[in-house]
Every structure is written in structure tokens, then in C-alpha cells.
Amino acid sequence: MTRESQPGPSRASSAAPRATIFEVGAPESACVLAPALDVPDVDVESALPGLARSAPPRLPHVAEVEIMRHYGHLADMNFGVDSGPYPLGSCTMKYNPRINEDAARLDGFAGLHPYQPLETVQGALELMVGLQEALGEVAGLPAVTLQPAAGAHGELTALMCFKAAHTAAGDPRTKVVIPDTAHGTNPATVSMCGYETVTVPSDERGLVDMRALREVLDTDVAALMLTNPNTLGLFETDILAITEAVHAIGAYAYCDGANLNAIMGVTRPGDQGFDALHINVHKTFSTPHGGGGPGGGPVCVTEDLARYLPGPLPTRLDDGSFALHTPDASIGRVRSYLGNFGVLVRAYAYVRALGAQGLLEVSEQAVLSANYLRVLLRGVFDIPYDRTCMHEFVMSSATLKREHGVRTLDVAKRLLDYGFHPPTVYFPLIVDEALMLEPTETESLESLDSLGAALRSIAEEAGSDPDLVRGAPYTTPVRRLDEARAAREPVVRWSPQGE
Ligand SMILES: Cc1ncc(COP(=O)(O)O)c(C=O)c1O
């Protein structure tokens, strides 16, 4: 068996790189059918001298069947949640129910213009108010803005509210405390807000080290940012003592809600003592994401902080109609219009389809899936914090590296040959050779078993034929890329040769 015929998904192996649509086809197979003119036909050259093009536009010369094959082929080269399991830790890549898409595409939503008079968009405002209420209930924090366009944007919005509140109290502070397991967007947000980051270590349990936390809490601290459950997939069991200690020095407690998928309907960040939370609705509330497309990072805060929220906010009036309202001490707009509306429609459809009981079951099932997989992989990979986890857990390839020279990146690349998207790698930073797996609630028992079997098989290959793993992937359209260059200098535009 050659390396190239090693196990792998048939769909990926059939997807060899192919030309852009401009490079396929031939002039005689042109399929250019311009739509009928819906404006008067004018002679552009005489109406606008010098502006008419000198040569016909360069359009692809492909027959309809080639167009279909071309786009079908591009879809084959992609890997998404609809292609197979996608256990990308911290990203909640779960199945996105199609009913959300149907709702977002309804003419009355998709065809709205942001400058329409309010009396013509009452249904859209009602939907946003309904979503604000639902998210506020899940969070245990009643005041909600839907404006932020992503989780990181939500973090920034919340910290700006904290800053405004401290400033209004005549007590501007300088520091924000973050645990060493935090996502990179947390310290980035702190800098953008003009604060200094103070890092607090985790203890041997993988939780915030309470003693170290108490040492850094002083009256210069504006806030603590904490992800709960944290990025090791562990619930911060000292959470009540943590938020109490933060409040005792007059600071605010911020919950990075990227991991809400583990606790929704079970426990509420507001009840844990948090003052603000962002929700990645594109994760927990099932909008397709991963390619940098539109997301949503609604922020939920306490009654006390409500007056700082960005405006305008959709509001329900006493007569049952809907209007926009800007809080008296608002930090101002953080995004144009009212947020990524299509994403909000999807989130609302998801909430309404599942109901309170359904959302609770999502979390229970997500936690069950992660624990099942963790136990399945016990003894195959190192699991540094091997105890009941929440919706994700972190393994390590440290032993494979030491004994066979096979690293986490190699394992991740080899997993592609088995038809799975790799887990998150090298995060959180405190775990050597980390692999962070979040299977989500939408994977079946069979799919969890096959993911576990693939990882077991790769660990065995690392012992019997380490070069095989180090050389992976073999079945994907492209092999190993210069990832730094691909991220920093992406080539996103095709030009004909010589131009
Ligand atoms: C723990 C955590 N916090 C914050 C974020 C930022 O969210 P977003 O990508 O929506 O900006 C992420 C995203 O992966 C995350 O995992």
C-alpha cells in the first residue's frame, strides 16, 4: 500500500486541486445569458463619452453543466459540519438546523432595509426583543444588547461598559485580571480598552488558583475576565468565592460565554455572580461559522450596568408596540444598525424550536458526548486533567512526541485522512502539545466511536510508522501549507497570467 492509498475519506481524495472557473471551458461553450434589460437601452458612448468599455467583459466560457461541476467540486474540497465530525474545541461546530436558514431567508426578514420606518419593521423589532429576553433569561442577566458582531466584539462592549461605570463613579482603574487559560481575545480586548492585563495562574486542578487570585486583586483592578467552564473544559467550582472576591475590591466580574453550550439551562452566569457575559450566538445558538462570516456576540449585563449599554436598543412599549431606545449613559453605538440581523433570526429560530427544555438537553448532551469521548481515549493520549469535564476536554500528544517524535500537529493532519476535522491544537497554552476536543451534542454515538477509533489508530501508527503520521495528510486537495504565510499573505484574487 502506498502512502497515498492510506485510509482516508473518499470525498476528499476525489477532490484534486483544479483551475478557477476562468481557466476551464472554451470560447465555444460560452453560457452567458444576460438578464433582460429593466432600464431603457442607451448608447453609453454617446451618453457618457469615454466611459464605455473598449473590449467586451472577460466572462468565463463554460457550459451550464461545467458551472455545476465547478461549484460542486469547490464544495467537495471544503470541509464543514455537514461533511463530517468537526470537534474543534472552544468553537462549538455543531449541526446548524435548516429551520434557522428557512427563517432567516423569509422575505419579511431578508428583504428589510435598515432605514425603513419603525412602524414597518415591528415584527423584526419584536423578534429582537424576544431574543434579548430569551438570552437574558439563559444568562440570568436581564439587560441585553444584540449589537456586537462577534464574541471578541462582545468582550470589548462589556469592558467599555465597565470602564464607563468606573469612570462615572470617579474611580478609573488600570488593570484587568485574566487566568492563564484564557482565549487570546481576552487580553486583546483588555489592551484595546486601554487597560493592562494581569495574568493569574491555574492550579493543579486546572482551575483559577484562588491564592494567586487574591494576591493580585487590589483597588486598581477594574475587572476579572473568566471563561466558565474554562478552556480546559472544567467548571470553575470556586466561582462564587471568585466573584465575591472581585466584588469585594469594587471590580466587575466578566464571563466569556464562549462555552455557554455546556451550561445553558443548568446554571446561569448571573447566579454565579457575573456582572456581564457575552454569548457567541454563532456557536451556542447555531449559526454556521468558521469561515469568518457574520456572527453575533450579544452582551447581557445586570440592571445596574444597563444604562451603559450601546444604543439604540429594541424595546417593548406599554401599548405592545416596539421602538428603539438609547440608555441615558450609553457608551454609544458599537456597530452599524442593530447587529447582524440574519444571525439573530437564526438564534431566535433555534431558541423557539428547542424551548427551555430543549436548550437544557443541548447542554446535557454536549457534556455527555465530551465525557464519553474522554473516557474512550483514556490511555491512548495523555489527558492531563482527567476528570469529569464539561462540553470539551484537552488531551496531549506529549508522550507521542517524546517516544516517537510525533507531535500534535501531525496527529491533527493525519486525522484529515480519516475524514474528520482536527480538534483545536496548541490551545490552551498551559498544556504541552494540546489537542482540545469538543464533539458537541449533535454527534451520534456511532460518530463519537468512529472519531475515537480514528484517534486510537493514529496513536498506533505513531508507534509503528511515525513517518506516516509526520507526512500526513495524503488525501486532501493540498498537503501541508506554510500556515503562517497562508494566514498573513493569503492570495484571494486570481489574475490572468501576465496581468
Ligand atoms: C473562549 C473564547 N472566547 C472568545 C472567543 C472569541 O469569539 P469570536 O470568535 O466570536 O470573536 C472565542 C472564539 O473562539 C473563544 O473560544
Q: Please give the distance, rounded to the nearest whole angstrom, from the Cα atom of residue 279 to the centre of ligand 1.
A: 9
217 lines ligand 1 (CB under 6 A): no
Q: How far is the CA of 283 from the centre of ligand 1 (A)?
A: 9
Residue 17 confidence (pLDDT): 57
- State in words which class domain 361-488 has: alpha beta
State the distance from the centre of ligand 1 to the C-alpha of 439, rounded, in angstroms. Answer: 17
Q: How far is the CA of 197 from the centre of ligand 1 (A)?
A: 18
Those residues with Cβ within 8 angstroms of residue 311's Cβ, 6 or more apart along the chain or in another chain: 324, 325, 326, 327, 330, 332, 333
Residue nearest to atom 15 of ligand 1 (CA): 258
Domain ranges of the chain: 3-77, 99-353, 361-488
Provide the residue type at 139 as one letter: A
Q: How many CB atoms lie within 10 A of CB 262?
A: 26
Which neighbouring-strand residues pair with 424? Answer: 436
pTM of the model: 0.91
Q: Is 152 in the pocket of ligand 1 (CB under 6 A)?
A: yes
Contact 299, 277 (CB under 8 A): yes
Closest CA to 154 of 192, 189, 191, 180: 189
Asked whether 221 and 200 are in contact (CB, 8 A), the reply is: no
Our CA angle for 373, 374, 380, nearest 5°, is: 100
Instruction: Pick the closest to residue 131 from 318, 441, 343, 362 (CA basis).
Output: 343
Cβ of 185 below 6 Å from ligand 1:
yes
Residue 277 CB less than 6 A away from ligand 1: no
The fold of the 99-353 domain, in CATH, is: Aspartate Aminotransferase; domain 2 (3.40.640)
> Exposure string (b/e) for 424-444, b if CB count within 10 Å is 16 or more?
bbebbebbebbbbbbbbbbbe
Between CA 105 and CA 101 the distance in angstroms is 6
DSSP 6-17: SS--HHHHT---
Residue with CA at minimum distance from ligand 1 atom 5: 151
Using a 6 Å cutoff on CB, does residue 183 contact ligand 1? yes
Closest CA to ligand 1's atom 8: 151
Cα(444) to centroid(ligand 1), Å: 25
Looking at the CA of residue 297, tell me the nearest atom of ligand 1.
10
Q: Is the CB of 231 under 6 A from ligand 1?
A: yes
Give the distance between the most distant pair of CA atoms in the chain: 80
Bridge partners (DSSP) of residue 176 are 197, 223
For ligand 1, mutation pick of 92, 147, 185 (most atoms within 8 Å of CB): 185
As a dihedral over the C-alpha atoms of residue 225, residue 207, residue 359, residue 152, rounded to 10 degrees, the angle is 30
Residues 6+ apart with CB under 8 A from 201: 179, 180, 209, 212
Taking a C-beta distance cutoff of 8 angstroms, is the pair 275, 254 a contact?
Answer: yes
Q: Which of 153, 183, 263 to mutate to test the pocket of ligand 1 (most atoms within 8 A of CB)?
A: 183
Q: Distance of CA 316 to CAs 83, 128, 252, 321, Å? A: 41, 10, 28, 6
Residue 87 Cβ inside 6 Å of ligand 1? The answer reads no
For residues 44 and 377, what is the distance between their CA atoms, to the nearest angstrom? 68
**Helix, strand, coil: what percent of the chain each, to 5?**
40, 10, 50
Three-class DSSP category at 196: strand
**Ligand 1 neighbourhood includes 227 CB (under 6 angstroms):** yes
Q: Give the Å distance between the CA of 15 and the centre of ligand 1.
A: 31
CA of 263 to the centre of ligand 1 (A): 16
* Structural contact between residues 274 and 299, judged by C-beta atoms closer than 8 angstroms: no
Over residues 57-90, the pLDDT tens digits come to 888 888 888 889 999 988 888 899 999 999 999 9
Spatial neighbors of 183 by CB under 8 A, at least 6 apart, are 90, 227, 231, 256, 258, 427
- Cα–Cα distance measured from residue 18 to residue 250, given in angstroms and rounded to the nearest whole number: 60
The ligand 1 atom at the shortest distance from the C-alpha of residue 182 is 1
Q: Which of 90, 225, 254, 280 to mutate to test the pocket of ligand 1 (most atoms within 8 A of CB)?
A: 280
- Ligand 1 center to residue 185 CA distance, Å? 7
Task: Please name the amino acid found at residue 232.
Answer: L
* CB contact at 8 A, 469 and 461: yes
Tens-of-pLDDT digits for all 499 residues of the chain? 344 445 544 444 444 556 788 888 777 766 677 889 999 998 888 988 998 888 888 888 888 888 899 999 888 888 999 999 999 999 999 999 999 999 999 999 999 999 999 999 999 999 999 999 999 999 999 999 999 999 999 999 999 999 999 999 999 999 999 999 999 999 999 999 999 999 999 999 999 999 999 999 999 999 999 999 999 999 999 999 999 999 999 999 999 999 999 999 999 999 999 999 999 999 999 999 887 779 999 999 999 999 999 999 999 999 999 999 999 999 999 999 999 999 999 999 999 999 999 999 999 999 999 999 999 999 999 999 999 999 999 999 999 999 999 999 999 999 999 999 999 999 999 999 999 999 999 999 999 999 999 999 999 999 999 999 999 999 998 899 898 998 899 888 888 775 6
364-386 burial code (b ≥16 CB/10 A, e <16): bbbbebbbbbbebbeebbbbbbe
- The atom of ligand 1 lying closest to the CA of 231 is 1
